[in-house]
């Protein structure tokens, strides 16, 4: 929806819809508004009206008038998307103990829990009452786990964005013994206790779990080389045992996330038409086997074969 041609974008949304994909996720930050503009145009030309989720990402100058900035962001998104309302608006910012220009992951300024539970939430609730969206979401990918938990404990959000993948499952469980990655604190369970559904991102680790050795040319990552992508692609090589008849590596990664009973949506980014077909093929109800999961536990102990085994 950023670097494809207009014709490709229309074809993509039509094919996704035909395959049963009815939830489309976007954000102002994706392509500097291009994703919203192009998705809105493509859906309009295709005559489709799926569930649409978008986001609000505030920068430090916006914090001088948080309510105004949130309202402008939502209304501008609706205009770009050519709709009067969307299904979901999510807070894209990460949260921490103090404000900062950037979080360690993701986009936008680092907000405090008081910012999110105060003027950000209050404005989104007002916009929901006005019919601009049906649901409100927050973000737990990045930031500080204690601040994320404070936001989740409010019970005010319908959804929470989480990073959850075979390479890092810690948003959905306690960290495995010997795990070397970042610990996201099992926030999916905490959210579920409060009626908040998880929306999974990073399920393919930006494409590193696709078997590719470099980002696809239409991916944003192709324009900003990432050492993280190369490292994750190296770790993913140890997961070839998940490939079998009827299951590619991509499908195994998506099925891993779909297996979690508190996950409501798994987001998959597409860079080509064949990727839509492959991802949709993961939603057959098939799951990873007990033996698959046992082998994963062993891989976590050795950082996917790249580190020492922890005893």
Complete DSSP assignment for 14-32: HHHHHTT--EEE--TTTTT
The architecture in CATH of the region 6-207+262-285 reads: Alpha-Beta Barrel (3.20)
Token pair, residue 31, equals 């392509």
pLDDT value of residue 263: 96
Question: How many CA atoms lie within 13 Å of 17's alpha carbon, on the beta-carbon side?
Answer: 15
pLDDT value of residue 104: 84
3-state secondary structure of 110: strand
pLDDT value of residue 106: 87
pLDDT value of residue 166: 97
Beta-carbon contacts of residue 163 (< 8 Å; ≥ 6 apart) = 105, 141, 142, 171, 184, 200, 201, 202
Q: At what angle do helices 6-18 and 273-280 cross, to 10 degrees?
A: 20
Domain range summary for the chain, segments of one domain joined by +: 6-207+262-285
pLDDT in 10s for each residue of the chain, 311 residues: 999 999 999 999 999 999 999 999 999 999 999 999 999 999 999 999 999 999 999 999 999 999 999 999 999 999 999 999 999 999 999 999 999 999 888 899 999 999 999 999 999 999 999 999 999 999 999 999 999 999 999 999 999 999 999 999 999 999 999 898 999 999 999 999 999 999 999 999 989 998 776 666 666 665 565 678 888 999 999 999 999 999 999 999 999 999 999 999 999 998 889 999 999 999 999 999 999 999 999 999 999 988 754 44
Token pair, residue 281, equals 């093929």
**C-beta neighbour count of 22 within 10 angstroms:** 12
pTM score = 0.93
Q: What's CA 73's distance to the chain center, in Å?
A: 19
pLDDT value of residue 221: 63
Distance CA 201, CA 167 (A): 13
Token pair, residue 118, equals 């105060």
Question: How many CA atoms lie within 13 Å of 208's alpha carbon, on the beta-carbon side?
Answer: 24
pLDDT value of residue 311: 41
């Amino acid at each position: 929806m950023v670097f494809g041609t207009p014709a490709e974008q229309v074809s993509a949304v039509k094919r996704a819809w035909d395959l049963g994909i009815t939830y489309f996720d976007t954000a102002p930050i994706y392509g500097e508004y291009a994703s919203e503009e192009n998705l809105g145009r493509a859906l309009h030309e295709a005559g489709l009206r799926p569930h649409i989720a978008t986001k609000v990402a505030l920068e430090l100058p916006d914090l001088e008038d948080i309510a105004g900035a949130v309202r402008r962001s939502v209304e501008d998104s609706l205009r770009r998307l050519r709709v009067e309302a969307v299904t979901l608006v999510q807070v894209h910012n990460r949260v921490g103990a103090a404000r900062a220009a950037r979080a360690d992951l993701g986009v936008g300024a680092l907000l405090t829990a008081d910012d999110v539970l105060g003027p950000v939430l209050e404005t989104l609730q007002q916009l929901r009452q006005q019919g601009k969206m049906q649901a409100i979401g927050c973000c737990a990918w990045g930031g500080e786990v204690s601040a994320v938990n404070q936001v989740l404990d409010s019970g005010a959000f319908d959804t929470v964005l989480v990073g959850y993948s075979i390479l890092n499952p810690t948003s959905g469980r306690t960290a495995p013994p010997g795990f070397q990655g970042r610990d996201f604190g099992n926030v999916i369970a905490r959210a579920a206790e409060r009626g908040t559904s998880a929306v999974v991102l990073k399920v393919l680790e930006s494409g590193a779990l696709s078997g590719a050795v470099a980002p696809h040319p239409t991916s944003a990552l192709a324009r900003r080389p990432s050492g993280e992508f190369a490292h994750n692609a190296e770790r993913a090589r140890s997961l070839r045992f998940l490939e079998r008849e009827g299951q590619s590596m991509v499908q195994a990664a998506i099925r891993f996330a779909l297996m979690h009973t508190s996950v409501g949506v798994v987001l998959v980014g597409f860079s080509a038409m064949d990727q839509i077909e492959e991802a949709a093929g993961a939603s057959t109800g098939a799951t990873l086997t007990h033996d698959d999961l046992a082998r994963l536990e062993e891989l976590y102990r050795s950082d996917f074969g790249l580190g020492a085994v922890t005893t």
